[in-house]
Amino acid sequence: MAYDLLIRNGRVIDPTSNVPPQVTDIAIAGEKICALAGPGQLSGDGANVIAADGLYVFPGMIDPHVHVTDRVAGNMRGGFELTSLGAIHGGTTTFCDFTITLKSRELLKALDDQRAEADGIIFSDFCLHAGVPPMETDDLRQIPEAIAKGFPSFKCFMLSSRGRPEIEDSLLFGVMETCARHGGLPGVHAENGKLIAYFSQRLLKEGKSGIRYFAASRPNVCEAEAVQRALTLARAANSALYVYHVSSAEGANLIRKARHEGLPVYGETCPHYLIFTDAVYGEELGPLLNRQPPIRSQRDQDALWEALADGTLSCVGTDDVATTLARKRQAPSGPDFMDLPGGMPQIETRLALLYSEGVGKNRITLNRMLYLLSTGPARIFGLYPQKGTISVGSDADLVLFDPNLEKTIAARDLHCGADYTVYEGWKVKGWPVTTMLRGEIVADRGTLVNKTPRGRCCLRKLDPLILREPAA
């Protein structure tokens, strides 16, 4: 068989096992992996050969949580072009963006519009989660239509934010029931908005406002109550559930208990919850780390690492928002915690940080890291086995990773269009050196190899097993 590309002597890891890395040759024909074999067993005649001695070869990373077009955050940079450039230079070959509309009957239109916006300008592959707008029961018919068109994942906001109202429990239950009947996966931003308002007003009456008190304005109970409520509704609706950006020990523990009971619930956390603690809100860096939910205590951080290691949480997404530095430093219009600008870029640094902070510090295994960053998101969101694995027949989305390459993170070196990073000056050991998208090298040692965008929208169908039991 003729190969277009042969990667020799790379160390390949199975994310679904604890087997150590195996030195493997990988043959690629067109956009697909066509053969895997031991060193020297595949002929390289006529093929472009890449020597990967000393390097890991990973499946392309998949980021399940990116806000490319969330203009709610204001003053954003990048769009699909620059966000995808940051993605491929950081080893991410596919990411999931969200549609956001406040018009009840435009869920499908928002998906079509956002897909068209990316067409011809995106350097990575992508998929879309549908943000659920305020709607009446009759409008739920849009959900099976979206699923049939290849958009089977949905996000519901359990709190209001900057003009976007919180979803009523009755509508959330309706979304879950509809997804359960038609093969969809509902997801939630799990915070109790009314509790947040209560704690915020109490702090303001005490003269406490600003970023220093941000975490105190949305304590752990705000997440825990919302996670518990979402789990209760999902169980009653016979629905699977995805919980975005889990930030607390209580949230992780509730997901662990539900999974032990057989509920198909999947949780995600983010790098900032794993690296920083709420002490940062009293420091100069604090305004740049304003996120919803907030960064929490060392106890919570430790619990999240444990939940990643033991299989409670299935993914690490970034919640990437390419907000500008000027916007992040902008003073709020009033003494309201909700006026603090959110969002930050981190799609380009996710892999290196998880390797250094997770694998390098023995918090998670290398196999587990790859599951959390690639295989887990692929399985949950209907991309597997096309993506998220190094297997014959899969897309040749591959990352050559140098575990010994030391870097100091600096905004000036990033490609995502952001003018700052909260990881400025962080030293990491291990960095992606080459990224391939469907058989073609797209980024190599900080250089864009092919300046023609060739990213595609991935239309998906969810595995029924994922919707039936906690299978990822």
Q: Which of 416, 406, 321, 305 is nearest to 354 (CA)?
A: 305
pLDDT per residue over 334-391, tens digit each? 556 656 667 789 999 999 999 999 999 999 999 999 999 999 999 999 999 999 999 9
Q: Where are the beta strands (DSSP E) in 55-124?
A: 56-59, 61-63, 66-67, 92-99
In degrees, rounded to 5, the angle at the alpha carbon of residue 397 between the alpha carbons of residues 14 and 2 is 95
Tell whether pTM > 0.85.
yes
By the 10 Å C-beta count (0-12 exposed, 13-18 middle, 19+ buried), 236 is classed as exposed
Q: Which SS3 state, helix, strand or coil, does residue 406 take?
A: strand
Alpha-carbon dihedral angle through residues 241, 109, 75, 347, given to the nearest 10 degrees: 40
User: Domains, the chain, ranges and CATH?
Assistant: 5-58+389-448 (2.30.40.10), 60-385 (3.20.20.140)
Say what the pLDDT of residue 146 is: 98
Give pLDDT, residue 92: 99
The Cα–Cα gap between 191 and 296 comes to 14
pLDDT of residue 181: 98
Task: Determine contact, residues 55/10, Cβ cutoff 8 Å.
Answer: yes
Pairing type for strands 32-37 and 66-67 reads unpaired
Quick count: other Cβ atoms within 10 Å of Cβ 289? 21
Check residue 395 and report its DSSP letter: B
Half-sphere exposure of 371 (CA within 13 A, CB side): 20
What does the alpha-carbon distance between residue 376 and residue 384 come to, in Å, rounded to a whole number?
Answer: 9
Question: How much is the mean pLDDT over the chain?
Answer: 94
The confidence score (pLDDT) of residue 344 equals: 87
Helices marked H in 220-370 — which ranges?
220-237, 249-260, 271-275, 298-309, 325-328, 350-354, 366-370
Tens digit of pLDDT at every position of the chain (472 positions) = 789 999 999 999 999 999 999 999 999 999 999 999 999 999 878 789 999 999 999 999 999 999 997 555 555 666 899 999 999 999 999 999 999 888 888 999 999 999 999 999 999 999 999 999 988 888 999 999 999 999 999 999 999 876 678 999 999 999 999 999 999 999 999 999 999 999 999 999 999 988 899 999 999 999 999 999 999 999 999 999 999 999 999 999 999 999 999 999 999 999 999 999 999 999 999 989 988 999 999 999 999 999 999 999 999 999 998 777 877 777 554 556 656 667 789 999 999 999 999 999 999 999 999 999 999 999 999 999 999 999 999 999 999 999 999 999 999 999 998 889 999 999 999 999 999 999 999 999 999 999 999 999 999 999 999 999 999 9
- Compute φ and ψ for 142, nearest 5 degrees: -65, -25
Q: How far apart are CA 209 and CA 203, in angstroms?
A: 7
Answer for the pair 104, 135: CB distance below 8 angstroms, yes or no. yes
